[in-house]
């Protein structure tokens, strides 16, 4: 934890009356949990400040809150805080550069530097934990309601794979313990995250019946736009099933390939063996050592990704 970096963020937040928190494109549980948790802390502590969360929404964690419709003129004297976003081009709110000051808070490998204040802690398995570091450091000044506790728990829970991914340690749980002290109701979170529509459950069956494997052990599924439409699910819902392919003993790496708007192909890559972040970087992506995404564009490039990952797994198994 960088106390001086968190102090700089703290003093900057205190200095602005308007604060706009910007998650990344195609938001996940961590970026939305971080955003709404931070919003709750600032609003609870400084009721005279105006705080927005601006960007895209996702049905997956809409129970945490809805993004705001922010007028253009609100940015002019605003502090913009980009959360959980490694590269500037992935900030969902494209007016971020019209703000008066920009802060970057992230836990991914530093793909590109940006912002007037840049706080990157790759030791944290979730960006929500960085906000909890800030809260813990200034807990005599800051307050948080159950709403914020729920949001930050959701962010931590989802980005750590329910506390299974590398990077989770005793300090992770000490931070989460603070949320319980604030009245966190975990059952409400699990209820939302574990509830799936019947079409999505049926689509899960499709994934388990139709996945494929590469020669050396990369499990994968290809999901097209027409496929999700025929099953009555959204591509974001379908992509949430990536970890269904993580149970095979002979497949230390698994991939979900999905066709998004304008038939652009993207990948969700996971591992329980070799580090995959360098491969993701080669394919215009990035993330953590064991959980990454990649922007592929075409199915041809998706096949190239699978070949590269297959070589990685081959090398990994040969060295075991």
Which structural domains are found in the chain, ordered by start?
3-193 (3.90.1640.10), 198-318 (3.10.310.30)
Tell me what the mean pLDDT of segment 46-61 comes to: 92
Tell me what the mean pLDDT of segment 231-239 comes to: 90
User: Diameter of the chain by CA atoms?
Assistant: 61
Tell me what the mean pLDDT of segment 182-189 comes to: 93
pLDDT single digits (tens) 282-300: 998 887 888 888 989 999 9
Determine contact, residues 218/313, Cβ cutoff 8 Å.
Answer: yes
**Pick from 157, 188, 150, 193: which is nearest to 172 by CA?**
157
pLDDT score recorded for residue 139: 93
Beta strands 50-53 and 18-22 are parallel
If one counts every other C-beta atom within 10 angstroms of the C-beta of residue 215, the result is: 10
pLDDT single digits (tens) 118-142: 999 999 999 999 999 999 999 999 9
**Pick from 156, 151, 160: which is nearest to 184 by CA?**
151
Tell me what the mean pLDDT of segment 264-269 comes to: 93
Q: Which residues on neighbouring strands pair with residue 291, listed in sequence order?
A: 270
From CA 307, how far away is CA 320, in angstroms rounded?
A: 20
| Contact residues for 166 (Cβ-Cβ < 8 A; gap 6+) | 125, 288, 289, 290
From CA 239, how far away is CA 23, in angstroms rounded?
A: 19
Tell me what the mean pLDDT of segment 164-181 comes to: 92
**Residue 24 CA: distances (Å) to CA of 2, 73, 78, 239, 244:** 23, 22, 18, 17, 25
Q: Model confidence at 255, in pLDDT bands (50, 70, 90)?
A: very high
Q: What is the CA radius of gyration of the chain?
A: 20
pLDDT score recorded for residue 285: 86
Tell me what the mean pLDDT of segment 163-169 comes to: 87
Mean pLDDT rounded to a whole number for the chain: 93
Print the SS3 string covering the chain: CCHHHHHHHHHHHHHCCEEEEECECCCCHHHHHHHHHHHHHHHHHCCCCEEEECCCCCHHHHHHCCCCCCCHHHHCCCEEEEECCCCHHHECCCCHHHCCEEEEEECCCCCCCCCCEEEECCCCCCHHHHHHHHHHHCCCCCCCCHHHHHHHHHHHHHHCCCCCCCCCCHHHHHHHHHHHHCCCCHHHHHHHHHCCCHHHHHHHHHHHHHCEECCCCEEEEEECHHHHHHHCCCHHHHHCCHHHHCCCCCCCEEEEEEECHHHCEEEEEEECCCCCHHHHHHCCEEECCCEEEEEEECHHHHHHHHHHHHHHHHHHHHCC
Q: How many residues does the chain have?
A: 320
pLDDT single digits (tens) 23-47: 998 888 999 999 999 999 999 999 9
To 10 degrees, the CA torsion angle through 189, 191, 193, 198? Answer: -170
Please say if the pLDDT value at position 89 is more than 90: no
Q: Model confidence at 166, in pLDDT bands (50, 70, 90)?
A: confident
- Dihedral sign computed on CA atoms, order 279, 280, 284, 287: negative
């Amino acid at each position: 934890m960088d106390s001086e970096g968190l102090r700089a963020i703290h003093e900057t937040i205190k200095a602005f009356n308007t604060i706009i928190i910007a998650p990344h494109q195609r938001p996940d549980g961590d970026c939305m949990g971080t955003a709404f948790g931070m919003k709750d802390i600032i609003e609870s502590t400084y009721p005279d400040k105006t705080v927005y969360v601006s960007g895209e929404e996702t049905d997956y964690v809409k129970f945490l809150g809805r993004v705001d419709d922010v007028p253009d003129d609100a940015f002019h004297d605003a502090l913009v805080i980009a959360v959980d976003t490694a590269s500037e081009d992935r900030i969902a709110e494209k007016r971020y550069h019209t703000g008066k000051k920009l802060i970057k808070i992230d836990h991914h490998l530093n793909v590109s530097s940006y912002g007037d204040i840049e706080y990157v802690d790759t030791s944290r398995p979730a960006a929500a934990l960085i906000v909890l570091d800030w809260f813990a450091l200034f807990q005599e000044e800051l307050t948080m309601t159950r709403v914020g506790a729920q949001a930050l728990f959701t962010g931590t829970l989802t980005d750590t794979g329910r506390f299974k991914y590398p990077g989770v340690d005793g300090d992770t749980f000490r931070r989460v313990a603070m949320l319980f002290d604030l009245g966190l109701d975990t059952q409400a979170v699990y209820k939302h995250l574990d509830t799936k529509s019947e079409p999505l459950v049926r689509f899960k069956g499709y994934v388990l019946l139709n996945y494929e494997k590469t020669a050396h052990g990369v499990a994968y599924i290809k999901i097209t736009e027409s496929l999700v439409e025929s099953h009555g699910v959204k591509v974001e819902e379908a992509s949430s099933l990536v970890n269904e392919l993580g149970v095979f003993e002979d497949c230390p790496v698994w991939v979900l390939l999905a066709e998004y708007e304008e038939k652009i192909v993207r990948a969700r890559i996971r591992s329980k063996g070799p580090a995959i972040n360098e491969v993701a970087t080669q394919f215009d992506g990035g993330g953590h050592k064991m959980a990454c995404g990649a922007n592929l564009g075409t199915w041809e490039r998706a096949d190239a990704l699978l070949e590269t990952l297959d070589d990685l797994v081959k090398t990994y198994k040969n060295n075991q």
